[in-house]
Structure 1
Amino acid sequence: AYNALYNFCTVTLSARYFDIIKDRLYIYAPSSIERRSAQTALHQIADALCRLIAPILVFTSDEAWENLPKQTVASVHLSEFPKVSDDDTTTLSKNWERIFAIRDEVLKALETARTEKLIGSSLDAKVILATDKDTTRFLLDYYDQLRYIFIASQVEVHESESLSIKIEKADGKKCERCWNYSVRVGEFVGYPTVCERCNDALAEIV
């Protein structure tokens, strides 16, 4: 149980989930669905983790529990373990493992591009993926999220015989707020140095 929790925290959460959702937590407006959904997921994860680690990290789990909002039980040690969902997540889990396998290859290509001084950070990059027909169709279902999953400014997906990854400099200009590149930076009168996402967020925040 300890190893499973450790691997979940270090790999699934830290190296994957937290890395991907930082953008939406920092960039989107407070009332946006993207940010609120991430906050809801984080609260549920924190709640469950406090309960699961309570027998191992007795004092730490209780201190974390006390700082979680909207708790109705005084101590984590008076709460029950999380209930296992009856939902069948087999297909969903397989899909994400498939995406993460591709992400691992993309991250290697981005690191090579950094080493070769083609890019500074991954947000300087456009990722061009060439994959087989089945994988192309699969990735297109997640297309709007791929640039956030890969932590790049732009992603293109093309059909090919096998997987190949090309890294180029991203198109457009760098947004001074989120550091993503966009061809639409400079279009907005009120905020000429930001991208379309940040323009929408600032319109709500300011």
Structure 2
Amino acid sequence: MDYSSTLNLPKTDFPMKANLAQREPEIQKFWADLGLYRRLLEKPAPKGLFILHDGPPYSNGDIHIGTALQNKVPKDIIVRYRSMCGYRAPYVPGWDNHGMPIENNVTKEFQKAKKKPTKLELRQRCREYAAHFVNVQRQQFMRLGINGDWENPYLTMSPEFEARIVAVFGELVQGGYIYRGLRPI
């Protein structure tokens, strides 16, 4: 016996299968063509400017659940909310391109190849490795639908960024905030 005619089931035009493998590129193209991030920045901002400073993830591999759900997604929600509340809320993503995670991964590559790199070779390979994963992570974050100025991120390995760090460090030294002590911590 067929009971389907006795049920009050909702009617919808939505397909029963999402077909995400086919639909995802279409959705991404729609968002890119719409230029949502640019449009949000162009709209009037009667409440002024809201800046959310992004503590960047390491560019040392694919994103993981912590990078996405504890870092980028909450920031995206906050920035979008502030934008809807009348603020101009730019979001400039960034990456930490220095540090042990990147150096450890590159060192493992050299160990697998049974090669002992010079300091220059190690630094160059770390830079290449970090740049590669900046691009990988950028694409992954964009696939998650996170809004931002993805064409102009800040990278801690850029010469301008490194020069600014040295300049600020110099200011701290001149101000007497940096000193050599017996037990500084």
The bucket for the TM-score relative to the shorter chain is under 0.3
Structure of larger gyration radius: 2
Higher RCO structure (Cα 8 Å, ≥6 apart): 2
Name the one with the larger strand percent: 1
Using the size of structure 2 for normalisation, the TM-score is 0.25
